[in-house]
Structure 1
């Protein structure tokens, strides 16, 4: 009976190790791809001065009114996404909602910000800021490092035991 439990526990540890390594590797790869996208965007981006014209409040629950309600459920705090207007190099007025929101709001209505955009698609602009460019790669890369580290630690411990 004792041998059967030990063998079953060893299988579970092996699956846990491979699972941690797999999740870590996938997260690291996705984080690196997102970092590459940000670097590519920075290389090709035009720069312009913009103004925050509104804060779009959204809750993670996705309200039926388009997410602009400040009503919350329990701990579901709304997040403020800055809406920015700027003019492209040829003078075309453009408005976009930044992909990174926060609570409390990181920007105020009327605040001037530097905008990065691609000349061929100015509506896909971003505010030039650390979070807008690097939050996704950092989160996924960090998760990848943690899970890969745990998986590698389990593999090292398993190898050392045998």
Structure 2
């Protein structure tokens, strides 16, 4: 009978769990990338104007300095409200899904708008954050975690120690 010693079984589960978790996040990042590429391939372009900022309060947590207590605070985040004229001549307005503090756009700023001709209400500001931020975050986190898990698995491969016991 072979018995794992030194908690190697638990370590293997942790390593394989990290690889699986990383692969899942990497997969989500790839799907989001595909969605952005698909959107760009069929998107119409229009010139838009930021007509306002929709300020919303969002919860942020911080570590509270040296102590281990976590404080939750609300901070205002500005989401640009953009107006544009679609190819069918109709004036449309949408609120961007990407907000920031300080605001990335001010009222009156001109922006390039991307939208689907068959559903102009699905519009986005043509910018890095609105198109690539989520794919980059999910894909990056997945790549790092899966890479670390794979590196640990490769480094410890062949180092398992089995102890034979006789009955």
* TM-score normalised by the chain length of structure 1: 0.85
Identify which of 22, 29, 32 aligns with 1:31: 29
Counterpart of 1:15 in structure 2 is 13
Pick aligned residue for 2:152 from 133, 140, 154 = 154
Aligned to 1:119: 117
Following TM superposition, by how much is the alpha carbon of 1:160 offset from its aligned partner in structure 2, in angstroms? 4.5
Between the aligned partners of 1:151 and 1:59, the Cα distance in structure 2 is 37
1:9 Cα deviation after fit? 1.7
SS at 1:161 equivalent:
coil
For the residue of structure 2 that corresponds to 1:58, the secondary structure is strand
Indicate the SS of the match to 1:76.
strand
The answer to whether structure 1 residue 138 and structure 2 residue 128 are counterparts is: no
**Which consecutive unaligned segments of at least 5 residues does structure 1 have?**
62-72
The alpha-carbon deviation at position 8 of structure 1 amounts to 5.7
- Larger of the two Rg values belongs to structure: 2
1: CA distance between counterparts of 2:85 and 2:137? 32
Match of 2:58? 60
**When you count strand as a share of all residues, which structure comes out higher?**
2
Higher percent of residues as helix: 1
Spell out the pairing of 1:71-86 with structure 2 (5 A cutoff).
75-86=73-84
- 1:51 corresponds in structure 2 to 49
Tell me which of the two structures has the higher relative contact order, counting C-alpha pairs closer than 8 angstroms and 6 or more residues apart. Answer: 2
Aligned to 1:101: 99
Structure 2: runs of 5 or more not aligned:
60-70, 161-167
In structure 2, the residue corresponding to 1:59 is in which secondary structure? strand
TM-score by length of 2: 0.82
How many pairs are equivalent? 147
CA drift at 1:7: 2.8
Q: 1:11 to 1:76 in 2, by over 3 A?
A: farther
